[in-house]
Amino acid sequence: MRWKSVPLIAAMLVVALVGAVTVAQDHERGSTPLFNAEDLLFLKHMIVHHEQAVVMSALVPARTDRDEFIRFARYVARAQAAEIASMQSLLELAADRGIDVPDYHAHGDPPMAGMLSSAEMKAIAAASGAEFERLWLEGMVYHHQGAIDMASAQQRQQLATGRQPYEIAVLVEEILVEQRAEIDKMRAWLGEWGLAGRARRSDVAQRAE
Amino acid sequence: MRTKSMALIGLLVGVLLAAVALAQSDRQEEGECTDEAPGNRVECAPIALDTFDIPFGLLPGGRVDADGNLDPRSSAEDAHAGAFAVAEELGLMRNFEWLHWLPTIPSERDTETGEWGGGDLDGFPTGWGSTGLGIAGDCLYWGRSNSTNTTGPGETRDVKIFRIQADAEKDAPVEIGMMPQLTTADGATAVRDRELRPYNYTSTDGVERMLMVRAAATGTGGDVITYTVDPETCLPVDDGSTAADVLAHEFYLWHDPDNPNRFVVASQTYGSQEEDLVFTAITDEDTGEVLEVPLFLASFTLEDIGGPVRDELPDETGLYSDGRFTDYSHLTDQWGRPGATQRSQGNDLHSGTLSNDGERFYAAGGTAGMYILNTEMLANRTNAELVGGVACNQRSTNVWVDGDVGRLIEVAKLADVARDCVHPVLNSDPGVVALIASDIPDQQKLVRYTRLEERSRFDFAPPFVAAVGVHSAIPVPNRPALSGDNPDGRPAYVVITEEWPFGPCPERGFRILTVESEITPMMVGAHAMSDSLVENCLEQPVPAGATIRPMMHAHNPTVLTNLVFVNWLGHGIRAIDISNPFNPEEVGHARPVPWGDVMTYPDIHNGLIYVGDNHTGLHVFKYIGPRADEVPQDVTYSSNRSSPH
């Protein structure tokens, strides 16, 4: 052993101590739950919410001749179906990790704020042509706004707890972005296609009844 | 009792460390450490092949004091100085000189604890996602995003405008102005400046002009807004023109070499709208002025022309149409996060590069791989001809029976794809054109075409579990193909990177493809950090003081003839020698402190390299390693717009 090893030993001591602290911190981090109850409830709610968008999108091809509208509906359906699959797998992951996933059964009509009621869905399904386009676009704008509100609430919850839950944080941001852009597009079409201002979305339910 | 235990532990630790130190000393004497200069630990740091492994267990994840130790109460001066000290001590710079660090987000002090937080000196993740950096002339734009994921609603982070100083090595850029960050209609959410591309040009009337294109979004896709800029002041002189119906995730700014008045933006939408790629003219091709209403020129959508469908879901066994992915979701990393698993396959176009002549687009097609598009119509026709729709089909031909994507392909329609303004090089390949026109049965044509189509994309997902897949695709300049089948001397190689935002283990690296046969790209070389091995990634220590794990994949590369600078996020910037593309070799690294996300493209300006870090701000480096003579001097160079300029 040469004298030059002495500072090396001192350095190694520092390294070891820092490493020990880090390991302790790692251990604490590793024990932090992957998701909390609010995260999981967010996933449960958003799955139900997205499923209605998929159902709505399936109505489009048979009720309009507009190619761009049909393409858009196809795009919305597939994007939301992929997000549903992603959210379901996160719930499965939580269960695999021994995290209690809360039960959630949709009930009520509509099942939650930001969704359309069964009467509204029936009215859209019964319409065609310009009337269908207006009801669908207004309904989907309202529906998307519901998703944005839910995602914003989830983001506030994350901020308050200082967490970036695994994959949910990214999903939330995607929902906020995609659905805002899609609302802009749908509102633009309502104007361009001469459909805006004819009726409010709330009128749909009244007529359906 | 307590004292005895402490003494015993101290003794044991001492013995252990002495043993380790001796072993280390012996290893040094055996020559494993090639540089024994005092304090220089670069060559002694753990390495895997030629690749620097950051000592994450020692790396400060937050504000440091003057000695480089974590200290949330340290002064701004100490935090700044300590970062440089600890970077040197830990060997975080090799063949890079860290010239300047400009923190641009101020810290706030907690009056109760006296601790600072929320700023660049603290390594706070202000910009949670992509952020834009761009240089033209001596004007530098740093589009620091904020994200409601970390800063909360209502916070805005304006684009900061800096002037690069005459002696840029000695003097840091000076802030001279700003552009307000946009907000959404609710006012609560700031619109992130994902991408910023400024450009100086001289129009045919001799006027010196400048423009800046901004992609502003809260996440995936953003409005494409073009501003006229005063080249003297670097400040925009108008409110910008927004391209209708375009949402860019990333975009390439192309300057027509045959018409200096003409600029085209190629927007890659990455799933934010139905089209994959949208080309928009942003200047008047006769005058060079920024158009008030940008013109839609053409678009391309891979699935429409018979490519893989977007947002594909697997069957109940996990099988996708092109195979099966690896699955690491049963594993856990040091942050408590599960390993990667595949949930769907987006197949969305993420990014790409137009060749300087405009005739090729190198598509970073996400999980659909890397492929090359023929854009000769776009390059060689005028905007007026393209907008009229006479020159070619402005949108991709839908080749599916009844337009029902993913079902059956109508073989007769495949011939139309070659008449699309933008189409894969495969579809105008003379052999493929002849095949489709031949009188063999449609079924036989389809079998042969499908094989060729799949081979025309370099697609590694599956098996590699991938969220984004191919993130960037940049052709290597000045290395033309020598193959007789590639007589126009188009690039021989393309560099690609792979992304997974905030990705779980394993991480993702960098590949080099040969594209000498443009319809059959193939990987020849790769470079990766040690965490591309899932077992290393899982064991990677958590740096003390870090609030979140930055992204850690190979992100944005700036590609020179034999040298690539890759902003590798948490791994910092890496210099890679690609002189032998079959055997890329890391020749330098720079990891600023505190830990963060080196996110932007590296912009080269007059020989220096400017990068933006989402956690720590703006950094300026000088590369001094092998092939430093290739770093462009007296120009601006970036791989996200026609360069040099």
Q: Which residues of B fall within a CB distance of 8 Å from A164?
A: 149, 502, 548
User: Which residue in chain A is spatially nearest to B216 when comparing CA positions?
Assistant: A177
Q: Summarize pLDDT for B183-231 with one digit per residue, the tens.
A: 776 676 677 788 899 999 999 999 999 999 998 865 556 789 999 999 9
**Hey, are the CB atoms on B22 and A5 less than 8 Å from each other?**
yes
The verdict on a CB contact (< 8 Å) between B310 and A89 is no
Closest partner residue to A166 among B149, B338, B542, by Cβ? B338
In this predicted structure, which of A68-77, A107-116, B27-36, B284-293 has the lowest mean pLDDT?
B27-36
The residue of chain B nearest to residue A15, with distances taken between CA atoms, is B58
Q: Where are the beta strands (DSSP E) in chain A?
A: none
A64 and A129 in contact (C-beta within 8 Å)? Answer: yes
Which residues in chain B are closer than 8 Å to A15, comparing Cβ atoms? 57-58
Which tokens in the block code for residue A63? Answer: 């009720």
- Sheet order of strands, B222-228 included: B182-183, B190-202, B208-217, B222-228, B241-248
What span, in angstroms and rounded, lies between the C-alpha atoms of B410 and B423?
17
Structure tokens at B528: 């990766």
Measured in angstroms, the CA of A165 and the nearest CA of chain B are apart by: 9
Angle between helices A118-126 and A201-208 (to 10 degrees): 90
Q: Report the C-alpha gap between B195 and B214 in whole angstroms.
A: 6
Radius of gyration of chain B (CA): 25
CA-based radius of gyration for chain A: 25
Instruction: Tell me how close the Cα of A41 comes to any Cα of chain B, in angstroms.
Output: 19
Pairwise CB contact (< 8 Å): B343 & A166: no
Helix (H, G, I), strand (E, B) or coil at B311: coil
Nearest CB among A18, A31, A79 relative to B271 is that of A79
Least confident of A199-208, B435-444, B616-625: A199-208
CB A49 within 8 A of CB A147: yes
* pLDDT in the model for residue A2: 37
Q: What is the mean pLDDT of each run of 10 residues along chain A (209 residues)?
A: 41 42 40 84 95 96 93 90 92 90 83 93 96 96 94 87 86 82 88 76 44
Chain A residue at shortest CA distance from B248 = A181
Residue of B129, B344, B502 lying closest to A85 (CB–CB): B344
User: Which of A67, A74, A159, A164 is the best mutation test for B, with the most CBs of B within 10 A?
Assistant: A164
CA distance A143 to A113: 9
**Residue B95 Cα distances to B81, B91, B171, B416, B574, angstroms:** 20, 11, 20, 52, 10
List all residues 6 or more positions away from B105 whose beta carbon is below 8 Å from its beta carbon: B118, B119, B120, B124, B126, B144, B157, B617
Q: Rounded CA gap, B551 and B501, in Å?
A: 6
User: Least CB-CB distance to A177: which of B22, B217, B343?
Assistant: B217
The verdict on a CB contact (< 8 Å) between B149 and A32 is no
- B334:A21 CB<8 A: no
Q: What percent of chain B has pLDDT over 70?
A: 90
Q: What is the pLDDT of residue B643?
A: 96
In this complex, is the C-beta atom of A161 within 8 Å of any C-beta atom belonging to chain B? no
Of A12, A82, A181, the CB nearest to B272: A181
* Residue B54 pLDDT: 95
pLDDT reported for residue A105: 78
Tell me the helix, strand and coil percentages in chain A, rounded to 5.
75, 0, 25
Q: What are phi and psi of A164, to 5 degrees?
A: -125, 80
Q: Would you give the distance in Å from CA B495 to the centre of its chain?
A: 11
A172 touches B: beta carbon within 8 Å: yes
* CB atoms near residue A171 (< 10 Å): 19
For A11, name the nearest residue in chain B, comparing CA atoms only: B21
Share of chain B above pLDDT 90, in %: 79
Interface of A with B in 18-57 (CB under 8 A): 18-19, 21-23, 25-26, 29-32, 34
CB pairs < 8 Å spanning A and B = 145
Q: Give the tokens for residue A45.
A: 């709610």
For the stretch B348-385, pLDDT in tens is 999 999 999 999 999 999 999 999 999 999 999 999 99
**pLDDT above 80 for B523:** yes
Contacts of B147 in chain A (CB under 8 A): 173
Q: How far is CA B109 from the centre of its chain?
A: 33
Shortest Cα–Cα distance, B18 to chain A (Å): 6
List of chain A residues whose C-beta atoms are within 8 Å of the C-beta of residue B336: 29-32, 34
Longest dimension (CA), chain B: 94
Q: Which amino acid is at A170?
A: V
Cα dist from A20 to A30, B61, B67, B544, B548, whole Å: 15, 16, 20, 11, 20
Q: Which residue among B129, B311, B338 places its CB closest to the CB of A93? A: B338
CA distance A25 to chain B (A): 8
Reduced to 3 states, what is the DSSP secondary structure of residue B117? strand
Which pLDDT value is given to residue B9?
A: 53
**Which of A19-23, B384-388, B540-544, B570-574 is predicted least confidently?**
A19-23
Cα separations in angstroms, A137 against A18, A60, A66, A117, B589: 58, 10, 13, 15, 52
Q: Which pLDDT score is estimated for B16?
A: 52
Closest chain B residue to the Cα of A92, Cα to Cα? B329
- Residue B222: closest CA among B256, B258, B268: B268
pLDDT for residue B541 is more than 90: yes
pLDDT tens digits for B37-63? 544 444 444 444 479 999 999 999 999
Beta carbons of B343 and A75 less than 8 Å apart: no
Higher per-residue pLDDT: B125 or B498: B498
What residues of A are in contact with residue B217 (Cβ under 8 Å)?
177
> Of A97, A164, A166, which is closest to B149 when you measure between CB atoms?
A164
A residues 106-145 lying closer than 8 A (beta carbon) to B: none
Question: Tokens representing B195?
Answer: 């991408």
3-state helix/strand/coil string of A85-129: HHHHHHHHHHHHCCCCCCCCCCCCCCCCCCCCCHHHHHHHHHCCH
State the Cα–Cα distance between residues B346 and A79, nearest whole angstrom.
Answer: 9
Q: How far apart are CA B610 and CA A166, in angstroms?
A: 31
Cβ atoms of B285 and B255 closer than 8 Å: no
Axis crossing angle, helix A37-58 with helix A67-96, rounded to the nearest 10: 150
Of the residues B25, B330, B394, B407, the best mutation for testing chain A's interface (the one with the most A CB atoms within 10 Å of its CB) is B25
